[in-house]
């Protein structure tokens, strides 16, 4: 590589994250990694946030039929005793039948 002057702005523009992990608290991260909980329809890689916002359905990248819990990207709530389909976070207590 030469020491020619580089267009730093262009290099910065072309610097793209493929996996950009959301910050998680230590406890969530620990739970995440102990139990790789993710819905069978989840199209996201383990650890990727599912782009949910509070109490909305998972988007097509998380692709689930679940509703998000209040934690947004932290974890998904569940309906009908299904697994978490969203962020792949540690699941919360299943809804009772």
Partner 1 sequence: MKQTHSNKSHNEYFKVSHYTHVFEYGDSYCLLYNAKSNMLAHIPKEIGGAIKNSSSNPIFRQLLSHEGIKQKLIKGGFIVEIERDETQEALNIIRDARKVSSWLGITIAPTMACNFSCPYCFEPKESMGTMSDLTSQKLISFLESKLEGRKNLSVTWYGGEPTLAVERIEQLTKSIDKLVNDRNIALYCEIITNGYNLNSTIRKRLASCYISRYQITIDGPPDIHNIRRIPKSGKKSFWRIVNNIKPLMELYQVDIRVNIDRNNVDHIDALVEILSKEGILSHCSLNFSHVDAITSASSGYKGNCLSLPVFAKNAHELYRKNRNYLVNPPFPESPHTCSALGPNSYVIDSQGRLYRCWTGIGDDQESIGSIYNPENIEYSDTLSNFNIETNLSCNECNVLPICLGGCPYKFIILENSKDRCVKWKYTLQETIKDYADWSRVKTTNVLTNPKTC
Quick check: 71 binds partner 1 (CB under 8 A)? no
- Residues 20 to 49: which contact partner 1 by CB under 8 A? 20-21, 27, 29-47
Cross-strand bridge partners of residue 68: 76
Q: Which run of H or E residues covers position 90? A: none
Helix (H) or strand (E) holding 87: none
70 is a site residue for partner 1 (CB under 8 A): no
Residue 89 is a binding residue for partner 1 (CB under 8 A): no
Q: Distances from the Cα of 79 to the Cαs of 31, 42, 59, 68, 88, in angstroms?
A: 21, 15, 16, 10, 15
Contact 79, 69 (CB under 8 A): no
CB atoms within 10 A of CB 36: 10
* List 25, 49, 76, 81, residue binding partner 1 (CB under 8 A): 81
CB of 50 to partner 1, least distance (A): 12
Our CB check for partner 1 shows the closer of 32 and 72 to be 32
Query: What residues line the site for partner 1 (CB under 8 A)?
Result: 1, 3, 6, 8-12, 14-21, 27, 29-47, 56-61, 78, 80-83, 90-94, 96-97
């Amino acid at each position: 590589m030469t020491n020619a002057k580089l267009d730093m702005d262009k290099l910065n523009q072309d610097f793209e994250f493929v996996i950009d992990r959301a910050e998680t608290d230590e406890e969530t991260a620990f739970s995440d990694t102990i139990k790789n909980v993710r819905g069978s329809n989840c199209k996201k890689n383990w650890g990727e946030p599912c782009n949910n916002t509070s109490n909305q359905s998972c988007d097509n990248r998380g692709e689930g039929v679940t509703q998000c819990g209040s934690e947004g990207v932290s974890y998904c709530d569940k309906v009908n005793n299904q697994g978490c389909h969203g962020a792949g976070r540690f699941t919360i207590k299943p809804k009772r039948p």
